[in-house]
């Protein structure tokens, strides 16, 4: 299970957010948020009314105009503060990442093989550098020679070192990390300013954050509502004139500001930024807000079996002797076949046999020579000086070897190996010379809690598909044990792309995890591609998210965060629009009840005076924004449930709550204003 970083909002971040809130008053910045830009225009108008009352309506309304001006100003500042606070947490993380970018020196290997010390900023794509123990890796690249332990804690926060070596999926290294043992030669894969660390800093700072499709659609709705209410407020002027009612300009502006969706307008950007920030708390870097949002709508998740659903290291779970061979003899020769096998599988055979009571003298390597596994033979083992040869290997390879030597294949060997495969294991046959002794049952165990996690996905309405290179029998057993919905056996890279395209053709959104170069095409094809930081640069480039902890199962947390982001945005939008009902009953009667006494019937809150009613609604409209900032930052708690239940819950909690809370809040503020005779 992945660990979550704590997102702190320090005093320094708050102070910087307050400062940034005032900087964002720049009209060019405010224009990016049309709803709050309208509020700022209203503020400017009421400010002029306050400064030049004689020109815009008379001295008698100056105090009222000043009060409206102050409240509008506070409303804008609170909205700007919400966005600045969300950005501040990202900037704080960016600053911690920048500490890893030092004036690093690099050992550049020239064409003649000589070494030249240069600044890391001088390195270009294709250069080769030598990095020794205690050196910082100067920039992103791939290991082309050597093996070394690398400390990636500056980026991942994880103290355990990671082994990096040439070839395979663990050759990629990141600039700013530190070699703590041995040496490696690294081929530079990026030019200055384009490294993974540079892009991470830009992303968490929000410098390149763009609105997501959902956010754009919601912004369009908010602008449309703003234009509608602007039209409504404008038409009130001739209506009021017809019934001989004078409406102060400040009152019309107050009505407009209260009716347009200022609450969600002020929090919309903060919700999006906070969503990306919540992903980084899990040590996942999202390359765009779109990927986080898409995760919330995922229908299908493609996961590798090895290392994702299972532990990845096959361990000896049992030893099955064939007819005529004792358990003790098989145990002894299984250990002989693994004396020089330093792989986890080989060590597990010896460990299992020792538990069965094997004596230590059988582990003596004197007079023996190890035979390594090769792709051609698909066997490994031990040769003894007395001529004895012990091997273990794949069933078909061993059978072919036995027949070649003129030996006999035991009649029960196939039944035993099939039984192992049906249980989700890998059978390895042990032989001495041309004599078959039995089968080692290697099992790649499912990680604890995986079945529960897939049940959780199922409750979210998400289909899980396991990809594995295992045979169909083994794949089916593991799939059943893990609880996935479907599986693809003997999978090739092309199979992953095919299943993604097939799901997308049905209108579904697909997520996938991967780390190898062969995963890159599928990661690029998926709507949400989560690459492992320990993987290749090709995989990280193709994906739209990178997990710094290299935990493939973290895609489940990413999906939950995406759904939480969409729920938070929907909940606060519902609450904001529902607010207008109470504000309508506060302001409309206040505007007309002096001229039309019958309008008092709509003053169901019993607000004291027209001015106190308008100011109370306006004050509530301002203070509700900072009160909702914690919810926007933390997000609405997501609990897996059906869409119908989720809609019912949101309407009852945020819809009904959005109607009732303003009634209570506006009445309370009105009582305070009357108590202190403010209005």
C-alpha to C-alpha distance for 632 and 622, rounded to whole angstroms: 16
User: Is-contact 563 642, C-beta < 8 A?
Assistant: no
Instruction: Give every CB contact of residue 593 below 8 A, 6+ residues apart in sequence.
Output: 599, 600, 602, 603, 610
Closest CA to 316 of 350, 349, 344, 343: 349
C-alpha to C-alpha distance for 356 and 362, rounded to whole angstroms: 13
Quote the tokens at residue 83: 């966005």
Q: What angle do CA 148, 100, 98 make, to 5 degrees?
A: 150
Backbone angles phi, psi at 316, to 5 degrees: -65, 120
DSSP 431-447: EETTEEEEEEEEE-PBP
Annotated binding-site residues for ATP read 341, 345, 373-380, 392
Backbone angles phi, psi at 668, to 5 degrees: -65, -45
Q: Kindly report the length of the chain.
A: 679
Measured on CA atoms in the order 467, 158, 637, 663, is the torsion positive or negative? negative
Closest CA to 294 of 530, 559, 557, 523: 559
Classify residue 159 by its DSSP letter. Answer: -
Closest CA to 456 of 557, 308, 568: 557
Q: Of 304, 444, 551, 580, which is the active-site residue?
A: 304
Q: Give the three-state DSSP class for 134.
A: coil
User: Is-contact 493 512, C-beta < 8 A?
Assistant: no
* Nearest-10 crossing angle of helices 344-355, 327-337: 150
Classify residue 172 by its DSSP letter. Answer: E
182 is catalytic: no
Q: Give the three-state DSSP class for 324.
A: coil
- Give the residue carrying structure tokens 């991942």: 156
- Give the residue carrying structure tokens 């100003």: 73
For 323, other C-beta atoms within 10 Å of its C-beta total 11
Instruction: Give every CB contact of residue 127 below 8 A, 6+ residues apart in sequence.
Output: 108, 109, 187, 188
21: which strand partners?
Answer: none
User: Is-contact 30 37, C-beta < 8 A?
Assistant: yes
C-alpha to C-alpha distance for 205 and 92, rounded to whole angstroms: 8
Instruction: Give the residue numbers marked as catalytic.
Output: 304
């Amino acid at each position: 299970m992945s660990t979550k970083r704590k997102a702190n909002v320090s005093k320094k971040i708050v102070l910087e957010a307050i400062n940034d809130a005032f900087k964002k008053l720049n009209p060019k910045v405010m224009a990016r948020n049309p709803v709050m830009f309208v509020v700022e225009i209203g503020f400017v108008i009421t400010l002029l009314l306050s400064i030049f009352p004689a020109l815009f309506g008379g001295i008698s309304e100056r105090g009222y105009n000043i009060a409206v001006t102050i409240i509008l100003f506070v409303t804008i500042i609170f909205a700007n503060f919400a966005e600045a606070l969300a950005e501040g947490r990202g900037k704080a993380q960016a600053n911690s990442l920048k500490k890893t970018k030092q004036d690093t020196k690099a050992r550049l290997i020239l064409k003649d093989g000589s070494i030249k010390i240069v600044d890391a900023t001088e390195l270009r794509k294709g250069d080769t550098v030598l990095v020794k123990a205690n050196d910082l890796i100067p920039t992103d690249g791939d290991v082309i020679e050597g093996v070394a332990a690398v400390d990636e804690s500056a980026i991942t926060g994880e103290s355990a070192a990671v082994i990096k070596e040439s070839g395979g999926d663990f050759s990629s290294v990141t600039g700013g990390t530190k070699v703590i043992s041995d040496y490696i030669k690294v081929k530079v894969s990026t030019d200055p300013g384009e490294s993974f660390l540079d892009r991470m800093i830009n992303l968490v700072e929000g410098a390149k954050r763009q609105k997501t499709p959902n956010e754009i659609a919601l912004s369009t709705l908010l602008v449309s509502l703003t234009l509608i209410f602007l039209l409504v407020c404008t038409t009130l002027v001739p209506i009021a004139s017809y019934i001989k009612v004078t409406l102060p300009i400040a009152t019309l502006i107050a009505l407009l500001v209260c009716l347009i969706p200022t609450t969600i307008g002020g929090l919309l950007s903060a919700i999006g930024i906070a969503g990306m920030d919540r992903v980084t708390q899990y040590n996942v870097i999202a390359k765009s807000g779109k990927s986080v949002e898409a995760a919330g709508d995922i229908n299908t998740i493609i996961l590798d079996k090895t290392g994702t659903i299972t532990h990845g290291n096959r361990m000896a779970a049992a030893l099955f002797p064939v007819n005529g061979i004792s358990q003790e003899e098989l145990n002894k020769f299984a250990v002989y076949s693994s004396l020089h096998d330093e792989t986890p599988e080989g060590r597990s055979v010896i460990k299992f046999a020792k538990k069965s009571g094997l004596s230590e003298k059988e582990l003596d390597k004197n007079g023996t020579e190890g035979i390594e596994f090769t792709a051609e033979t698909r066997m490994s083992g031990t040769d003894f000086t007395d001529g004895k040869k012990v091997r273990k290997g794949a069933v078909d390879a061993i059978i072919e070897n036995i027949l070649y030597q003129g030996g006999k294949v035991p009649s029960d060997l196939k039944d035993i190996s099939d039984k192992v495969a049906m249980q989700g294991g890998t059978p390895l046959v042990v032989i001495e010379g041309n004599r078959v002794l039995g089968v080692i049952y290697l099992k790649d165990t499912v990680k604890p809690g995986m079945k529960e996690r897939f049940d959780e996905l199922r409750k979210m309405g998400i289909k899980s598909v396991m990809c594995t290179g295992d045979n169909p029998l083994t794949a089916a057993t593991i799939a059943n044990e893990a609880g996935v919905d479907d599986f693809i056996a003997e999978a090739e890279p092309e199979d992953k792309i095919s299943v993604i395209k097939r799901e997308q053709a049905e209108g579904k959104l697909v997520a996938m995890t991967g780390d190898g170069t062969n995963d890159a095409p599928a990661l690029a094809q998926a709507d949400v591609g989560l690459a492992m930081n320990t993987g290749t640069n090709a995989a990280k480039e193709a994906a739209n998210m990178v997990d710094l902890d290299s935990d493939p199962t973290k895609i489940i947390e990413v999906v939950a965060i995406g759904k939480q982001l969409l729920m938070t945005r929907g909940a606060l939008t519902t609450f904001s629009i529902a607010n207008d009902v109470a504000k309508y009953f506060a302001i409309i009667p206040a505007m007309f009840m002096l001229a039309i006494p019958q309008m008092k019937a709509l003053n169901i809150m019993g607000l004291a005076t027209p001015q106190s009613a308008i100011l109370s609604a306006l004050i509530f409209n301002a203070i509700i924004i900072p009160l909702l900032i914690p919810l926007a930052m933390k997000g609405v708690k997501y609990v897996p449930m059906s869409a119908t239940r989720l809609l019912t819950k949101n309407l009852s909690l945020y819809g009904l709550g959005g109607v009732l809370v303003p009634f209570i809040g506006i009445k309370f503020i009105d009582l305070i204003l009357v108590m202190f005779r403010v209005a």
